[in-house]
Amino acid sequence: MRIFWTFFWTFLLVNMVTYVVSSMIGVTYHFATGATLAIIATVLILLIAQLIPNDPVHH
């Protein structure tokens, strides 16, 4: 379920950013570009979450 919600929000936010940026620079909005970037961002977010340790660091 965690992966679904991560993908869901990443998909919405990345497509929103893609739309706004493409509008600002005057190019055509492509849904496929936003979807591809959302998949890549989701994988990176989940990978980073796995790399961060959960245990506190003992000095």
Length of the chain (residues): 59
The residue type of 49 is A
Spatial separation of the C-alpha atoms in residues 39 and 35, rounded to whole Å: 6
Domain membership of residue 22 (yes or no) is: no
| Residue at 9 is within a domain | yes
pLDDT at 53: 82
Alpha carbon of residue 3 to chain centroid: 12
Measure the CA–CA gap between 11 and 43, rounded to whole angstroms. 12
Mean pLDDT to the nearest integer, 48-54: 90
Task: Give the residue numbers spanning the domain of 32.
Answer: 2-17+27-50
Mean pLDDT of 5-13: 97
As for how many domains the chain has, the answer is: 1
> What does the H/E/C string look like for 25-49?
HCCCCCHHHHHHHHHHHHHHHHHHH
Is residue 55 included in any domain, yes or no? Answer: no
